[in-house]
Amino acid sequence: MSTPTVDRYAVIGHPIGHSKSPTIHAAFAEATGQRLEYTAIDSPPGAFAATVDRFRQEGGRGVNVTVPFKLEACAYATDVSAAARAAGAANALKFDGERVFAENFDGSGLVRDIRDNLGHRLEGLRVLLLGAGGATRGAVLPLLQENPARLFVANRTVDKAMALVADFHAAGANTAVLQAGGYNDLGRDDTFDIVINATSASLTAEALPLPATALQAVGLAYDMVYGKGLTPFLLQAQAAGVRHLADGIGMLVEQAADAFAWWRGVRPATHDLIRRLSTPLV
């Protein structure tokens, strides 16, 4: 008797050895009764397209994409979703013959974690988003869809933040809600309910030049980086009296669940897995 074919998926990045995606998707497959194989693929810089081509030729059905290939993933696709187009980057691809569909679930994963897991509704709140790179681009549209009272993008390089926001304004984003500036533009009267660090500063244990007043009324400080304990940003928030601190492990699991549902048609539960993978914030 022949062995049934197993659908193949993977995460592609460089480096990739640290990725939790194989663990996450194996847990999802077991929990939902899906028969699949999920591996990690380290692609040399400059070889993303060739790596994906080879995986497709070998029968691959879809991939998650992590740094530094999210921009290339968007360019590789034949069909790009509104979320991926707005971000200019994709973190998931799905293959159907000659067609390659691109999605970006980073922002939806962030919103699900903040709203559903951490219990902070976003509607009517003032949100400060730190950074103006790809992570921020992926977060802006899903955050705006939650109808915050204000979404302010702050970055060291003010022109980059202004350009990012101008792109979303040109695409029809609410100009009254979405604003941009530098860290120095955050005055004493600029208060926020939620602050999200979408910079890479926590990966290098770097503190952000964020005025303490920007954190004075915050109910949740969220760092997209995960597994680093109390990052410099979270320490800043803690020192300012913010009581609810969170890292990005929930975002990681939620975006993976969105990708899994996109591929397989069933969305796995996430709460227990987030709890199992969480690192204490100490």
pLDDT (tens digit, 9 = 90+) per residue, 164-219? 999 998 888 777 899 999 999 997 778 999 999 999 888 888 889 998 889 988 99
- pLDDT of amino acid 176: 85
Is the pLDDT score of 56 beyond 90? yes
- pLDDT of amino acid 2: 43
Average pLDDT, the chain: 94
Q: Dig out the tokens for 121 from the structure.
A: 């509704």
- pLDDT of amino acid 1: 42
Grade residue 262 by pLDDT with cuts at 50, 70 and 90.
Answer: very high
Residue of 20, 70, 160, 228 marked catalytic: 70
- Rg value, the chain, Cα: 19
Select the more confidently predicted residue: 282 or 161. Answer: 161
Kindly report, residue by residue over 217-252, the tens digit of the pLDDT: 899 999 999 999 999 999 999 999 999 999 999 999
- pLDDT of amino acid 4: 55
Active site residue 20: no
Q: Domains in the chain, ordered, with CATH?
A: 7-104 (3.40.50.10860), 107-249 (3.40.50.720)
Is the pLDDT score of 275 beyond 90? yes
- Taking the model in full, what pTM does it have? 0.94
What percent of the chain lies above the pLDDT cut of 70? 99
Cα–Cα distance measured from residue 22 to residue 229, given in angstroms and rounded to the nearest whole number: 22
Kindly report, residue by residue over 17-38, the tens digit of the pLDDT: 989 999 999 999 999 999 999 9
- pLDDT of amino acid 182: 95
Per-residue 3-state assignment (H helix, E strand, C coil) for the chain = CCCCCCEEEEEEECCCCCCCHHHHHHHHHHHHCCCEEEEEEECCCCCHHHHHHHHHHCCEEEEEECCCCHHHHHHHCCEECHHHHHHCCCCEEEEECCEEEEECCHHHHHHHHHHHHCCCCCCCCEEEEECCCHHHHHHHHHHHCCCCCEEEEECCCHHHHHHHHHHHHHCCCCCCCEEEECHHHCCCCCCCCEEEECCCHHHHCCCCCCCHHHHCCCCEEEECCCCCCCCHHHHHHHHCCCCEEECCHHHHHHHHHHHHHHHHCCCCCCHHHHHHHCCCCC
